[in-house]
């Protein structure tokens, strides 16, 4: 029996061009390509230990054993899928935690499923490095596809920097690729509200194609992807910012006009966005927003704007919590004796 513990530390990511709708839900085949920035500080750490004395998976979250509930079921389902697909022997003891508050607006399912996939496959194949994993048939591309089946956006968290998730011509030809760009952008997440979002992204993906705005979105999406890639290549913050804000508002407009409409936006969100616009119009800070399926705001800017922006934030919203992050290099894998 292996006595090694395999530990994955995987960052979350924030999408610039959003995954919003699926053509094939079972294979997590998105309706469009998406592009994201991998974060650096907001991470999930997951360690896995292969224990042949176990008759089922043992799962610990933040040091506490969990045996039921949605979160437990999702983890167990993904582990069972990996075990049966690759005929892996034995069960794992899994310990996982996030270093950021869950439901704060950082996508914990992205870092969570990528970390779970990476650590569990490492434990089952006794691989301590990415090279060993790839020699066992688990390249980053493969691990990314497996992570995607847990949560779509997780596939982008296994690469660092700026990442494109290409839908490809069929569900089995999807791939992720790194965009060559070394721009040290920041993401300051403004936590306007903590707590579970009221509509899961899984359900939102099902609803969005019913919006009359959806086909318009699809007709422009390739052009938009090109524009995003150009803005990154040119390191043009003004161009990137305009695209980010348009895209964020567009995905919210789409879900707000779906057959079963829903709004994630709070009055506080709308007020915060207009405060940011005013800062910009007055020439006080060059900061731009993006939004995920939630009410919290991600402020994207260049490094030199941060202290300036934070001083206005503290002046005008002294009680707001925020998480300061930046573009990161991607996942880490280590192993040690149990
Ligand atoms: O990966 P999911 O199913 O949680 O969907 C993520 C959807 C968005 O966060 C809104 C956009 C994205 O591309 O991450």
pLDDT tens-digit profile of 93-140? Answer: 999 999 988 777 788 999 999 999 999 999 999 999 999 999 999 999
How many angstroms is it from 296 CA to the middle of ligand 1?
14
Report whether pLDDT(207) > 60: yes
Ligand 1 binding pocket (C-beta < 6 A) is 15, 18-19, 34, 107, 109, 151-153, 201-202, 292-293
**Nearest atom within ligand 1 for CA of residue 34:** 13
Strand bridging mode 58-61 / 22-24:
unpaired
At 194 the pLDDT is 83
Number of Cβ within a 10 Å radius of residue 238 = 11
Strand bridging mode 288-290 / 64-66:
unpaired
> How confident is the model over 57-92, as pLDDT tens digits?
999 999 999 999 999 999 999 999 999 999 999 999
At 2 the pLDDT is 57
95 in Cβ contact with 126 (< 8 Å): no
Handedness of CA 118, 122, 125, 130 (dihedral sign): positive
Report whether pLDDT(305) > 80: yes
> How confident is the model over 127-177, as pLDDT tens digits?
999 999 999 999 999 999 999 999 999 999 999 999 999 999 999 999 999
Written as six digits, the tokens of 30 are 């998105």
Report whether pLDDT(1) > 70: no
**Nearest atom within ligand 1 for CA of residue 293:** 10
Which of 109, 201, 250 is the pocket-test mutation for ligand 1 (most atoms within 8 Å of CB)?
A: 201
At 338 the pLDDT is 83
Report whether pLDDT(324) > 80: yes
Report whether pLDDT(191) > 80: yes
89 in Cβ contact with 293 (< 8 Å): no
């Amino acid at each position: 029996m292996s006595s090694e513990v395999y530990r994955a530390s995987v960052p979350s990511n924030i999408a610039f061009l959003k995954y919003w709708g699926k053509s094939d839900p079972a294979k997590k085949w998105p309706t469009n390509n998406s592009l994201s920035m991998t974060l650096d500080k907001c991470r999930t750490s997951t360690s896995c230990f292969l224990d042949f004395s176990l008759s089922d998976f043992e799962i610990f979250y933040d040091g506490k054993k969990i045996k039921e509930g949605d979160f437990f079921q999702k983890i167990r389902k993904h582990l069972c899928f990996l075990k049966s697909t690759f005929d892996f022997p034995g069960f794992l003891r899994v310990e996982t935690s996030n270093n950021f508050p869950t439901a704060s607006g950082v996508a914990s399912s992205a870092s969570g499923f990528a970390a779970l996939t990476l650590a569990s496959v490492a434990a089952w194949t006794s691989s301590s490095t990415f090279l060993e994993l790839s020699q066992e048939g688990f390249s980053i591309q493969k691990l990314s596809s497996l992570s995607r089946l847990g949560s779509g956006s997780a596939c982008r968290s296994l690469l660092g920097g700026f990442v494109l998730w290409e839908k490809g011509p069929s569900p089995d030809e999807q791939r992720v690729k790194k965009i060559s760009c070394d721009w040290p952008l920041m993401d300051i997440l403004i936590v306007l509200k903590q707590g579970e979002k009221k509509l899961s992204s899984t359900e939102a993906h099902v609803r969005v194609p019913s919006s009359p705005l959806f086909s318009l979105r699809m007709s422009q999406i390739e052009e938009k992807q090109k524009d995003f890639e150009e803005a990154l290549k040119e390191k043009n913050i003004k161009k990137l910012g305009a695209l980010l804000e348009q895209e964020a508002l567009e995905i919210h407009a789409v879900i707000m006009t779906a057959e079963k409409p829903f709004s994630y936006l709070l009055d506080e969100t709308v007020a915060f966005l207009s405060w940011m616009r005013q800062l910009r119009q007055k020439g006080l800070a060059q900061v731009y927003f993006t939004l995920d399926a939630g009410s919290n705001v991600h402020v994207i800017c260049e490094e030199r704007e941060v202290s300036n922006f934070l001083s206005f934030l503290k002046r005008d919203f002294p009680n707001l919590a925020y998480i300061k992050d930046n573009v990161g290099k991607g996942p880490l894998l280590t192993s040690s004796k149990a």
